[in-house]
Amino acid sequence: MLQSLSIKNYALIGQLNINFNQGFSTITGETGAGKSILLGAISLILGQRADTSILKNKDNKCIIEGVFDISNYNLTIFFDDNDLDFDKFTIIRREINPNGKSRAFINDTPVNVSILKDLGSKLVDIHSQHQNLILNDTQFQLLVVDIMAQHKDLLNEYKNDFKEYKKLKNELNNLIEKSEKAKQDLDYLQFQFNQLEEANLIDNEQEELENELDTLTHAEEIKTNLSKVYHLLSGEGETSINHINEAKTLLSQLNNFFSKSVDLTKRVESVLIELNDISNETEIISNDVEYNPDKINNFKERLDLIYSLQQKHRVSTINELIEIKDNLQNQINEISSYDSEISELTIGLNKKHDVLIKKADKISIQRKKVIPEIEKKIVAILQSLGMPNAAFKILQTKAEQLSVNGFDTVTFLFSANKKVEMQSISKVASGGELSRLMLSIKSLISKSIALPTIIFDEIDIGVAGEIADKMGNIMLNMSKNMQVISITHLPQIASKGQYHYTVYKYDDNDTTTTDIKLLNDDERIVEIAKMLSGESVTDAAFENAKDLLRFTS
């Protein structure tokens, strides 16, 4: 509930501080006194747009602050989600600077206007002639039925399931789209993979092939040179090995009397052994080396294949080609797995859909069950408000497809007069009729849920006398479950208030200022008498005012 309101430098208000109470409060005042200004200031802390035109003193900033008791509103989750400090006495402040910049605060934490508006919608419901247009909103109409059906837990379960269902459906659609696109690429990916797979690439193969090809292409030169080396070392005639053998013999003859020759002899023997090995190996290698055009062609073809694959995939090694082949295999496997994933998701989606249908059917049954009761009670309230021929019906329609609200849409049908066919509200209801219909609906649902503070902004326009009295009684009854504030010009309603405030304006030097005060019993009699007879209050008006207050109390 709204506990207190502080307004500074707003329109005709210089400085204003007012406390409010639980129950039913009425606000009255002469036309132009500033009741709409007061309402405008409240709207600002509820997240409405603002500009510098509302500044009373253009050099100073405007500050509007409201203190709300939110202990019974279950708003801790909202505060946690928005990283705000929760306090059962929450302070909302709005500041508008002369430069047009607006700032908003919740418990001294800066917030954007969207958060302020979201919280404001949970704290105060300003009901005006304009707000009656919400009656034409099918979402509001369905909300009324759901409130009266009292299946909030089931509806929340359904909405959570529906949210999961939509998420699953989007996931499935994305997967199907991804699968279809991937399958378009599958042939190309498979072709690339097959090409690399058929190449049967082996790690380090390229280097070996290139070395072998070099050997084969230079076979004659290699064979000739190796043969010459062999003949130089151990061929016929004077060879290197013969000369070294002779050197060995000469050195060994000195070993008995020249000790240094022993080491030299051994070294020559080592050289001789190595040269013999070299000679034998060159002969073997020379015999193995042959010019083979077929092998050369085979090696060239193999290398050409490797080079073309490297060029195609823009790499320079066989290892990189093997890595590309493995990646292609993974992509092909992933595409192949889409079908099983799609099948699995489809099964899960169908199960969730079956659960939703069962819950949606249950919700529909509960809505259908409560609709006659709503119709009956609304008609009864309307008749008490001076509409004896009022007819009200709720048309429940079941759609083929599930929505966030289940299968149902509802339409309010209304007729205020006898023998006039019921139609949708927008086609048949006048402003005054809409006010009474909305009051009837809010009166009805206020007994079923904890509504926020409701401010009725002159919804009594177009009514008077006994009807006004009954409207006042309805608002008074509503205040047993919530805080109700009514801005009114009717004494019958003003007298019903447990607390009566008056908005007035006065001239102060060169400026006109608006203020508000809580009336005591005597002041209240005078105010209601003025409402009955005008500025010149008659004795009869005083007596009537006393009677109204006495009757109310």
Predicted confidence pLDDT, tens digits, the chain (553 residues):
999 999 999 988 989 999 999 999 999 988 888 888 888 899 999 988 887 788 888 889 999 999 999 988 888 889 998 999 999 999 999 999 998 889 999 999 999 999 999 998 888 888 776 555 567 778 889 989 999 999 989 999 999 999 999 999 998 998 888 877 777 776 777 788 888 888 888 888 888 888 877 777 777 787 778 888 878 888 777 788 888 888 888 888 888 888 888 899 899 899 989 988 988 888 888 777 777 777 778 878 888 888 888 888 898 888 888 888 888 888 777 777 677 888 888 999 999 999 999 999 999 999 999 999 999 999 999 998 888 999 999 999 998 899 999 999 999 999 988 888 888 887 766 667 777 888 888 888 887 776 678 898 887 777 778 888 888 999 998 898 889 999 998 999 999 999 999 999 888 778 888 999 999 999 999 999 998 887 788 888 889 999 888 866 5
Query: What pLDDT sits at residue 126?
Result: 83
In whole angstroms, give the CA distance from residue 145 to residue 445: 9
What confidence score (pLDDT) does residue 304 get? 84
Question: Letter for the amino acid at 534?
Answer: G
Q: Which tokens hold the place of 504?
A: 């007035």
β-strand 499-508 against 24-28: which pairing, if any? parallel
**What span, in angstroms and rounded, lies between the C-alpha atoms of 422 and 80?**
46
Sign of CA dihedral 298, 299, 303, 306: positive
For tokens 């020249």, the residue is 258
| String of DSSP letters for 30-59 | -TTSSHHHHHHHHHHHTT----GGGBSSTT
How far lies 109's CA from each of 122, 143, 196, 288, in Å? 18, 32, 63, 91
Give the C-alpha separation, 252 to 263, whole Å.
10
420-458: burial string, b at 16+ Cβ within 10 Å, e else? eebebbeebbeebbbbbbbbbbbbbbbeeeebbbbbbbb
- C-alpha 298/C-alpha 314 separation (Å) is 24
Residue 364 parent element (H or E): helix 318-384
Tokens 């759609």 correspond to: 399
Domains along the sequence of the chain with CATH: 1-128+450-518 (3.40.50.300), 181-335 (no CATH)
Token pair of 237 as six digits = 């005639």
Helix (H) or strand (E) holding 110: strand 109-111
Question: In whole angstroms, what is the distance from residue 483 CA to residue 73 CA?
Answer: 13
Facing residues of 89 across strands? Answer: 69
Q: Which pair of tokens denotes residue 227?
A: 């043969």
Cα torsion through 284, 285, 288, 292, rounded to 10: -160
pLDDT for the residue 131: 58
Quote the tokens at residue 206: 């390229």
Q: What stretches of 150-204 show up as alpha helix (H) in DSSP?
A: 152-199
Output the pLDDT for position 361.
Answer: 95
Phi, psi of 73 (to 5 degrees): -100, 0
Q: Which residue matches tokens 């102060």?
A: 508
Q: What is the pLDDT of residue 133?
A: 57
Instruction: Residue 58: count other Cβ atoms within 10 Å of its Cβ.
Output: 9
CA angle 448, 453, 456 (to 5 degrees): 100
The tokens describing 287, both together, are 């015999």
Beta-strand (E) ranges in 371-468?
391-403, 406-415, 423-424, 453-457
Cα–Cα distance, 97 to 64 (Å, whole number)? 12
At residue 551, the pLDDT reads 67
In sequence order, which ranges of 200-218 are alpha helices (DSSP H)?
A: 205-217
What does the pLDDT read at residue 255? 87
Count of CA atoms in the C-beta half-sphere (13 A) of 349: 14
Please tell me the predicted confidence (pLDDT) of residue 552: 64
How many angstroms separate the CA atoms of 335 and 179, rounded?
7
Q: Is the pTM of this model over 0.85?
A: no
Q: Which amino acid is at 307?
A: Y
